Structure 1
Amino acid sequence: MSRRLACLSSALALASALPVAADPVFNRIATFATPANMAEGEDTARESSAEIITATEDGMTLIYSDSPLGVLGLVDITDPRAPKPLGNIAMGGEPTTTVVIGNRAFAGVNTSESFTNPSGKVVMVDLASRSIAAECDIGGQPDAVARAADGGFIAIAVENERDEDLNDGALPQMPAGYVVKIPVLDGAMDCAAQQRIGLTGLAAIAPEDPEPEFLDVNAAGEIVVTLQENNEIVVIGADGAVATHFSAGSVDLAGIDTRRDGRLDFTGSLTSVLREPDAVKWIDADHFATANEGDYNGGARGFTIWRKDGTPVFEAGASLERAIAAIGHYPEHRSGSKGVEPEGLAFATFDGVPHLFVASERGSMIAVYDVTDPAAPALRQLLPSGISPEGLAAIPARNLLATANEVDLRADGLAPAHVMLFEHAEGSPAYPMLTSEGSDPLIGWGALSGLAAGAGPGELFAVSDSVYGSMPRIYRIDTTTTPARITAAIDITRGGQPAQLLDLEGIAPDGEGGFWLASEGRSDRLIPHAIHHVDAEGAITQSIALPEALLDNEIRFGMEGITVMGDRLWLAMQREWQDDPAGMVKLVSYDIGDETWGAVHYPLETPAEGAWMGLSEITAHGDWVYVLERDNQIADRAQVKRLYRIPASALQPAELGGPLPVVTKEMVRDLLPDLAILNGFVPDKVEGFAIDAEGQGWVVTDNDGVDDSSGETLFWTIGKVD
């Protein structure tokens, strides 16, 4: 494979749509972790979640459903920059969706014992006392709940979902679902007057087993409901009778990644992909939007705006997915199924402009569209939103948007579930910090694990790690634009074929147009520890295995950075190997001329209990050698994310196998405040550092390829380092 350069167009598609600095934009202002709502004495290590979210009518309190705990969680956002826990309210089952009318919250609660014997209720909560005031049995398992604009009724999609492990999840699986409409009189439900609206016999797919997924009510009291698995959309009139229904149809997609193969390749296509819509939201009296997440037979990867007679007036196709890929949030591990999986929607008018918000569950992104013309939505922003955003709540009276991010990964040592708050105000978008938007063909990227300076002004190079093991690449970055741009990708090849068995963690220019690359070994993946040299076209010209004196003591964590000092390569080993004293990690040298090895010891900070400490980058510049040192902790557990430096003169390597000299270090910068600048949670992996031709220091984080990660890549300058 030859070097692949991507020519940038003069006007980036996304950047051209972004507001100028004086226009209002959305930026994240706060993050709330759901375990904070557990009471004193409770086991806060239990799994928690924030799934679907709403706000009280005064916009001062958020209410989210926490399915694992079986509670509604309440958050005080009187000061939206400092959300405070208000505790949890037990629901006696699994809460799904909540709406608020006056001072009462109405939550759908699943109490089903089995798929074949579903049951559920609507629970009414008095918000003043935070106690349950009433319950209505609705005869089946509820999913979405919506309210009439005037508060006169609530509508519930009773899905009676299928067992995905039975017959490969194929329909029909009885009992059938339906919609429930419950009058609300003087703030109370009239359970006896509830209306159960049948939906059987409508869809072409399994008409005997409709599974209503999501619904919404317009100002006229009409209910639109999606039957996701049936690929059908139904509009119910204000009288409670089905007014119209139609197939959600299919979409042809081009310019997408269709294979889960460890590479990002946006040249694929799919035909006749069923939309299988999830969320649905009215935009005006005649139009609504659907998020086409897909289920077992579809997934159109975008969203559609419809007239209520069933005519599609806009189809996003692959455009949203490609915009998300351009900022490094494409989930390659979902390429074989539903890509970025648009799932949630919200609609509200901010500053006179109608906005549609589309949540990408697997891309962990919120897309912000101006839908002044429903037939021509304009993408305005892409907002970072924790891990797997499921629900959204717009509060235009307070210029706020809230998102519920459902995944709790603390059992894996990662982040808890979060609620996030965004403010609509004058300013510039804080995110993304790095994009390949405008590249042709589209350059997909992520998991940036090493950084190095180029020769030109504002020129940097980065590598990605084994997340994309079938597509090892070097990326050229132009930092003279905001956001910085990935302008080219160089494929790493061996013998004319894509190089395999690499886990690139470090990069250093060789001064002649090529690069030295550090590949971290993984015996469980048959990846050897090695240094590779590539030419300007990315072809491997030399591979250097680590010496036996090192390999005899290897562990899983190997080289995490590489730099050039004269005729020597210096490598940062991430963690202590078997022959290292506790708290000491090797900086290994390789003399290019005489092919000899040596090392010094670097003293690590002491990790917190249950954590480990290691290095993730090494960069020589002038009289100093800079290293990134970090713990493996995330969010509020993160304590050490720091840039240190060592006098270059102190790097006098001793022979491997014997005592090693210990270098001294001094801290240059605590990176924790930088990592919190987006008001999200602190990421684990600060992976790359480089000093450009003008002496500016640059830092990048590794987003793990959006797999069990929020996908956020932080890329910023710390200014002049000398």
Structure 2
Amino acid sequence: MTCKLVAMTSVIAISAGMANADAFNRISSFPTFLNNADAGEESSAEIISATADGMTLVYSDSPLGVIGLIDITDPANPTPKGNIAVGGEPTAVSIIGNTAFVGVNTSESFTNPSGMVKAFDLDSMTEIAACDLGGQPDSTATAPDGSFIAVAIENERDEDLGDGRVGQTPGGFLVTVDVADGTLNCDSLNVIDVSGLADVAPEDPEPEFVDINAEGEIVVTLQENNHIVVANKDGVISHFSAGAVDLEGIDATDERAALIFNESQPGRLREPDAVQWIDNTHFAIANEGDMDGGSRGWSIFSQDGALVYENGTGFEHAIVEVGHYPDRRSDAKGVEPEGMEFGVFDNTPMAFILAERSSIVGVYDLTDPTAPLLAQLLPSGVGPEGAVAIPARNLFVTANEVDLIEDGGVRSHVMIYQLQDADPAYPQLTSAGADELIGWGAISGMVADADGIVWAVNDSFYGFQPTIFKIDTTTTPATIVDSIPVTRQNGDPAQQLDMEGITLDGEGGFYIASEGRTDRVIPHAIYHVNADGEIQFRDGEIGLPPELMANERRFGFEGITKVGDVLWMAVQREWADDPANHVKLVAYNLETEEWGAVHYPKAEPSTGWVGLSEIVAHGDFVYVIERDNQIGGAAVTKKIYRIPAAEMVPAPLGEALPVVSKEEVRNLIPDLLTLNGYAVDKVEGLAIFPDGTAWISTDNDGVDDSSGETYFWSPGQF
């Protein structure tokens, strides 16, 4: 199989412009709690490596103080192999053959750092050697010939002191240890001094990430010092500043919940984290940043310090286009490229750039290191921290460190991808190819129009930028071709809206349902906007009547549809006057201005809550999305039901409401698992064209404690 990676200006090109392009697709996801004796304990896959045969994955798990093992003999069905306690905090793991070499932090304080490098036989799952490093280890790397390992001794600073800045002694250093007969030779431990080199805090170097090329040369990043060192076992060969980048066309402000890419940051220090040799002369760095920097991209240097490639904002803008931009990190480090991996697949050198806060991986073809080509963006779990390439098996793996068990969210996962003779399965929605850069996320309500166009709205996550998106569903992936800001009559953004539903008004404009939060001065209301997104003067805001407001609760309208002169809105959850497991479908007659409602019987939740998140009229039925708030294996209810339109006869408010019947149309959980991740919780959008073709979408929560993945798919005709 030959890789057919091509040059492109946007990710959409590989799937829309090519047939049967070789692509990485996710084939499985492994929640790390499967290795735990107690599934309720927090665990975290951070740095990951693979055995020489590519059949076992080993990851560091800091919360549990272990390394975890996964059997990937069948990579589409990974199975747990258990944990090995390491006697401290594992910071990194590297493997030679079937022996895992683990950096273990045993520090009692920032001023008295200590640590070990330990060797574990993975067959017997026992410790076979341990060397005292004399400081706190961060990353580890193995020489390609297996003759030695290198360890970056960070001796990290106390971020609560001195405004969190270096220098804070003791400074870090670099260590090498020889490997023989599958274990460590502690007598060979060699310390390489990297102090006095950087312009920034030269007395306090903090080595962050390390890698070794085929000539035994070691490259190490000093992230906080914005410096790079190249060494061998005899000492430093070269060193130089990582430099700075002038950034244009970025969102650098976190004060507003809006995606506005018209700002700049001149002279932004790279402050690199991960580093990987891509040949014996060049290496790539991921410019996450720390104290003063983070250039939001990645770079390639030669070992003499010459810059041969600078990504600038290319990586970040590609992430914006697929809806993964983490807006709440705008004033910090944006998408935060942190981790990195390199591998040669079918003679094509590839770099994998991990954007920690965007939960996505960029795949670049490095055939020409002076002009890398973006081939794909891969969806990952929350917080990809480490990765390993296994070219002999056409596999790539990410370790995703965030475990949200305390918040009832998604758990830490290891995700496995395979290079296939197929098109990319992700993204399913993109704004690539639009006339200008369109940032998007938190898609909620939708409505079908004509000629394959679906209109969608974002919710209150982007409260300063309420927007209607025009989506062309005739492309693959579907494409956001335009965005329309929702404004007041004076042209200002219509803040304090939580848009959860949209429907056509029949005259080129829209009706929008806003879910209220009276505790945040967000009204429960319906808004009438024209084709330009401007709220209309006379009937622009339709507030709820006293009969409804007397019993309102936070969870209000989560969809809107129009039947003749009547608007129907689905209330997400029970209000004060509703029977248990019944919610209102509220009607408003645009001609008579009369309100009414029916009751809808929803499922009783097994855990958490169940509610409605969309309503769409089509033919002889009214369709609703009914979902629970559970994620992953805990998800039970993610379904589409339909109600006979003949039963949608509203009773006046204050009277006993009729209860409509429902019929299950589709269980959405199998659909949510087709990308081989986990079932996300927020299925929120449904649009149905006149021929019955349906489109469904999920809300990615603005990439905040979320993987950022937006599923946008058609199940066919209803």
Q: Shorter chain as normaliser: what TM range?
A: over 0.9
CA contact (8 A) 2:12 2:430 kept: no
Which position in structure 1 is the counterpart of 2:618?
621
CA contact (8 A) 2:252 2:331 kept: yes
- 1:446 corresponds to which of 425, 435, 441: 441
Whether 1:331 and 2:326 are equivalent positions in the alignment is: yes
Which position in structure 2 is the counterpart of 1:317?
312
Report the Cα offset of residue 164 of structure 1.
1.0
Distance in 1 (CA, whole Å) between partners of 2:703 and 2:67 is 28
Amino acid at match of 2:34: A
CA contact (8 A) 2:14 2:375 kept: yes
Distance in 2 (CA, whole Å) between partners of 1:216 and 1:161 is 19
Which position in structure 2 is the counterpart of 1:593?
591
Which position in structure 2 is the counterpart of 1:136?
131
Amino acid at match of 2:268: V
Distance in 1 (CA, whole Å) between partners of 2:106 and 2:556 is 49
Whether 1:715 and 2:709 are equivalent positions in the alignment is: no
Distance in 2 (CA, whole Å) between partners of 1:606 and 1:109 is 47
Which position in structure 2 is the counterpart of 1:406?
401
- 1:254 corresponds to which of 230, 244, 248: 248
- 1:470 corresponds to which of 464, 480, 483: 464
Amino acid at match of 2:41: R
Distance in 1 (CA, whole Å) between partners of 2:546 and 2:40 is 43
Which position in structure 2 is the counterpart of 1:482?
476
Structure 2 residues without counterparts, runs of 5 or longer: 1-7
**29-38 vs 19-28, which moves further:** 19-28
State the 4+ residue runs in structure 1 displaced beyond 6 angstroms. none
Which position in structure 2 is the counterpart of 1:661?
658
List per-residue Cα deviations over 1:110-160 (Å, max 9, x = no partner): 111111111110111011101111111101110000011111110000000
Which position in structure 1 is the counterpart of 2:4?
none
Distance in 2 (CA, whole Å) between partners of 1:668 and 1:187 is 58
Report the Cα offset of residue 496 of structure 1.
1.3
- 2:600 corresponds to which of 592, 599, 602: 602
Which position in structure 1 is the counterpart of 2:366?
371
Q: How does 1:55-66 map to 2 (within 5 A)?
A: 55-66=50-61
Amino acid at match of 2:679: V
Distance in 1 (CA, whole Å) between partners of 2:472 and 2:234 is 58
Report the Cα offset of residue 523 of structure 1.
2.4
CA contact (8 A) 1:17 1:378 kept: no
Distance in 1 (CA, whole Å) between partners of 2:134 and 2:231 is 20
**SS of alignment partner, residue 339 of structure 1:** coil
Report the Cα offset of residue 657 of structure 1.
2.0
Structure 1 residues without counterparts, runs of 5 or longer: 1-10
List per-residue Cα deviations over 1:591-635 (Å, max 9, x = no partner): 111111100000001110x31100000000111100000000000
Whether 1:360 and 2:355 are equivalent positions in the alignment is: yes
- 1:268 corresponds to which of 248, 251, 263: 263
Which position in structure 1 is the counterpart of 2:99?
104
Q: How does 1:358-437 map to 2 (within 5 A)?
A: 358-437=353-432
Distance in 2 (CA, whole Å) between partners of 1:312 and 1:445 is 33
Which position in structure 2 is the counterpart of 1:692?
689
Report the Cα offset of residue 441 of structure 1.
2.1
Report the Cα offset of residue 46 of structure 1.
1.5
- 1:232 corresponds to which of 227, 230, 234: 227
Report the Cα offset of residue 440 of structure 1.
3.0
CA contact (8 A) 1:704 1:711 kept: yes
CA contact (8 A) 2:466 2:494 kept: yes
CA contact (8 A) 1:457 1:693 kept: no
Which position in structure 2 is the counterpart of 1:508?
503
**SS of alignment partner, residue 194 of structure 1:** strand
**SS of alignment partner, residue 550 of structure 1:** helix
Identity of aligned residues (%): 60
| Corresponding pairs, count | 705
- 1:635 corresponds to which of 632, 636, 657: 632
Which position in structure 2 is the counterpart of 1:491?
485
Which position in structure 2 is the counterpart of 1:7?
none
**TM-score under structure 1 normalisation?**
0.97
Which position in structure 1 is the counterpart of 2:273?
278
Distance in 2 (CA, whole Å) between partners of 1:492 and 1:12 is 30
**SS of alignment partner, residue 49 of structure 1:** coil
Report the Cα offset of residue 17 of structure 1.
4.9
**TM-score under structure 2 normalisation?**
0.97
**SS of alignment partner, residue 281 of structure 1:** strand
Distance in 1 (CA, whole Å) between partners of 2:97 and 2:627 is 49
List per-residue Cα deviations over 1:548-570 (Å, max 9, x = no partner): 11111111111100000111100
Distance in 2 (CA, whole Å) between partners of 1:60 and 1:213 is 28
CA contact (8 A) 1:224 1:233 kept: yes
Report the Cα offset of residue 345 of structure 1.
0.6
CA contact (8 A) 2:193 2:235 kept: no
Q: How does 1:451-462 map to 2 (within 5 A)?
A: 451-454=446-449, 456-462=450-456
CA contact (8 A) 2:176 2:189 kept: yes
CA contact (8 A) 2:395 2:419 kept: yes
CA contact (8 A) 2:618 2:690 kept: no
Whether 1:559 and 2:553 are equivalent positions in the alignment is: no
Amino acid at match of 2:422: G
**SS of alignment partner, residue 75 of structure 2:** coil
- 2:569 corresponds to which of 561, 568, 571: 571
**SS of alignment partner, residue 493 of structure 1:** coil
List per-residue Cα deviations over 1:148-189 (Å, max 9, x = no partner): 111111000000001111121111111100001001122121
**SS of alignment partner, residue 532 of structure 1:** strand
CA contact (8 A) 1:459 1:692 kept: no
Give the CA RMSD over aligned residues. 1.0
- 2:176 corresponds to which of 159, 177, 181: 181
Distance in 1 (CA, whole Å) between partners of 2:381 and 2:712 is 17
Q: How does 1:38-57 map to 2 (within 5 A)?
A: 38-39=36-37, 42=38, 44-57=39-52
CA contact (8 A) 1:458 1:693 kept: no
